[in-house]
Amino acid sequence: MIDKIKQYIDAVVSCELTKFDELENFRIQYIGKKGLIPVLFNDFKTVAPEDRKEVGILLNNLKNAVQDKITQVKNLLESLETDSGHYIDLFMPVQAEAGSRHPLSIIRNKITDIFSRIGFTVADGPEIEDDWHNFTALNFPEEHPARDMQDTFFIEKKPDIALRTHTSSVQVRVMESQKPPIRSIFPGRVFRNEAISARAHCIFHQVEGLYIDKNVSFADLKQTLMYFAKEMFGENTGIRLRPSYFPFTEPSAEMDISCHICGGKGCNICKYTGWVEILGCGMVDPNVLQSNGIDPDEYTGFAFGMGIERITMLKFQIKDLRLFFENDLKFLRQFEASIT
């Protein structure tokens, strides 16, 4: 009898009750008129005199365990009741919501995949850079406005150390450590001291690319970017290149794509021009090659850079850049279907 009572106590302690009807069945089973405990107390008179003390203590422990279990579970279930009279079942299987990638991650992965198909590898570098990698090695003159405090976040007490303003700094590190041919892209986060608005932010993301080899021409650049535009925005996408200026490329150009919203007919996205600017590009300036230990008489190359936010806004027709940083679930849940 002693062993049986000990087993009953263990069963009561380990018993899990999650509903009121389960609790009532438990009560009837143990302390109802015909329950286990009344039966055991009735059988107590048959216990040998030498065992009665131990059996009596165990019976009281069993009775107390049952009463404690009933009180504990009852209080828990009552505390979980809602206004409608229902309670939350803590033992129900969890209905977890499917997660999704952030829209910027979706587009970054898409861009990386497109260029990896044509032989571009991915390289990364530090977000805190020195003046050489962020400016000087890229042919920025000393008086260039990008070096000013209004454009750059400099580290306090270290005027030659700053948060990188572009991922071009990774290009410098790759050119320093690798010999041509070089064919890499550089995705990452960059920082500029700008006012936050629907079209600008002090933090944003870029993907830059670099290709250096013998006999690389502007035609190679154009064909590479044409391939990217068609893969990203559709086979019917057209591009145009407009002359521009960047310290690290010569000649330089801005690249527009035909508006995929209106098909080039004109809408508010393209400001009724039929074209949308998406990136800057050009042939690597010989001074940049020479500064990084590459012979400009033997090698040529091209570079390009685009904002991931810009591409994402065009791809998903998002009008406010700030949405990318606010963690609004209503906004982020729009991208649950994507697994890219």
Which tens digit of pLDDT belongs to each residue from 14-32? 888 888 888 888 888 888 8
How large is the average pLDDT for residues 135-163?
Answer: 79
Please tell me the distance from the alpha carbon of residue 190 to that of residue 98, in angstroms, as a whole number: 30
Asked if residue 106 has pLDDT above 80, the reply is: yes
Q: Does domain 103-335 have CATH number 3.30.930.10?
A: yes
Which tens digit of pLDDT belongs to each residue from 189-198? 999 988 888 8
- Per-residue model confidence (pLDDT) at position 256: 94
Q: Best-predicted range by mean pLDDT among 55-64, 90-99, 216-225?
A: 216-225
- Per-residue model confidence (pLDDT) at position 170: 95
- Per-residue model confidence (pLDDT) at position 290: 94
How large is the average pLDDT for residues 40-54?
Answer: 82
Residues 6+ positions from 81 with CB-CB distance below 8 Å: 87
CA-wise closest residue to 121 among 64, 170, 193? 170
Asked if residue 327 has pLDDT above 60, the reply is: yes
Higher pLDDT: 25 or 79? It is 25
- Per-residue model confidence (pLDDT) at position 173: 95
Residue written as token pair 């050009």 = 282
Please tell me the distance from the alpha carbon of residue 33 to that of residue 67, in angstroms, as a whole number: 15
Asked if residue 88 has pLDDT above 70, the reply is: no
Higher pLDDT: 100 or 320? It is 320
Which tens digit of pLDDT belongs to each residue from 246-281? 999 999 999 999 987 777 777 777 788 889 999 999
- Per-residue model confidence (pLDDT) at position 39: 83
Ranges 48-62, 100-114, 224-238, 289-303: which has the least confidence:
48-62
Its pTM stands at 0.68
- Per-residue model confidence (pLDDT) at position 219: 97
Structure confidence at residue 53 as a pLDDT band (50, 70, 90): confident
Structure confidence at residue 86 as a pLDDT band (50, 70, 90): low
- Per-residue model confidence (pLDDT) at position 285: 95
Structure confidence at residue 83 as a pLDDT band (50, 70, 90): very low
Average model confidence (pLDDT) across the chain? 87
The stretches of 128-199 forming alpha helices (DSSP H) are 131-134, 168-177
**Residues 104, 309: contact at Cβ < 8 Å?**
yes
Burial class (CB in 10 A: 0-12, 13-18, 19+), 301: buried
Question: Reading across the β-sheet that carries 158-163, which strands appear in turn?
Answer: 128-130, 158-163, 154-155
- Per-residue model confidence (pLDDT) at position 38: 83
For the chain, the straight-line distance linking the first and the last C-alpha, in angstroms and rounded, comes to 65
- Per-residue model confidence (pLDDT) at position 167: 94
- Per-residue model confidence (pLDDT) at position 97: 67
Domain boundaries, the chain: 2-79, 103-335
- Per-residue model confidence (pLDDT) at position 213: 97
- Per-residue model confidence (pLDDT) at position 22: 85
